[in-house]
Amino acid sequence: MTTPVLEAQGLQKRFGASKGWFGRGGNPGKAAVQRVSLSVNAGETLAIVGESGSGKSTTARMVMRLIEPDAGTVHWQGDIVSGLNNRALRPLRNRVQMVFQDPFASLNPRMTIENSIAEGLRVHQPKLTRTERRQRVAEMLGRCGLDAAMMARYPHQFSGGQRQRIGIARALIVQPAALVLDEPVSALDVSVQAQILNLLQELQLTQQLAYLFISHDLSVVRHVADRVLVMLQGEVVEQGTVEAIFTNPQHPYTRRLLAAKPISHPAEREEIVAE
């Protein structure tokens, strides 16, 4: 049996919890994620969908170990990484990388594109010379559809689509096995969205990358995902193949999500309501 590239079992997270005096009272906080389990194999895209506040981004951040789960375990390529301190986790960080929603906020405005992308190489491949790092950055920019001559520029000198390509190049430079993509195209124009999605699919095919894809845009999910996990108030209410979820949803919340998606013609809405 193939070992999943990404796996999580029984993840739970509460925010705002506090203890009272002498163990009495206190605030139990709000449950953001409850008993969430998932797995993603090489070359596969698992999408997590749900409305704002459903817990999908919190789940992604726990899988990335950006926040610590209150309960549950996280595995990267079969190794348990939940509970590891930063020093023990650092050499494993190149296995899983993240592409954030806002490509401008995720890049340091004081660093050139070359330095931003090469930062991961300095950590995970410290023996590379400056010339070798520069060559790797140039090659990765080319694979992501950007000119190597742009390396000396700063983030504000690029468009939103170009900045997202830079974010993808920065994630891929350390040769990860998986990418966690948190709303990677929601801040982009529709035409640019298509370019980025096509780029992600091409990279996945050539490198057999595993994708954990967080999105509220169901049309995007239907285009890119193999399997879908539907979350409501921190819990998984339905999961299945993209075909099963979109053609035969079982949970009432999933049906409401599909009925609420944008349509191109009124007849489509009538068909959904009639069903």
Tens of pLDDT along 229-243?
A: 999 999 999 999 999
Query: Buried b / exposed e across 139-157, counting CB within 10 Å, b at 16+?
Result: ebbebbbbeeebbeeebee
Give residue 250's pLDDT band: very low, low, confident or very high (50, 70, 90): very high
Q: Is residue 110 part of a domain?
A: no
Model pTM score? 0.89
Q: How many separate domains does the chain show?
A: 1
Query: Tell me: the pLDDT tens digits for 48-73?
Result: 999 988 999 999 999 999 999 999 99
189 part of a folded domain: yes
Tell whether 172 is covered by a domain.
no
Q: Is 114 part of any domain?
A: no
**154 within a domain of the structure (yes/no):** no
Q: How would residue 275 be classed by pLDDT, with cut points 50, 70 and 90? A: very low
Predicted confidence band of residue 17 (pLDDT cuts 50, 70, 90): confident
112 within domain boundaries: no
CB 36 within 8 A of CB 4: no
Question: How does pLDDT run across 95-135, given as a tens digit for each residue?
Answer: 999 998 888 888 999 999 999 999 999 999 999 999 999 99
Residue 219 counted as domain residue: yes
Full domain range(s) for residue 43: 6-17+28-105+177-274
Domain containing residue 251: CATH number: 3.40.50.300
CA separation for the pair 230, 111 (Å, rounded): 38
H or E stretch covering 11: strand 6-15
Closest CA to 231 of 223, 221, 103: 221
Whether the pLDDT of residue 264 is over 60: the answer is no
Residue 187 domain flag? yes
Strand partners, 33: 13
Return mean pLDDT, the chain. 90
Mean pLDDT value of segment 30-52:
95
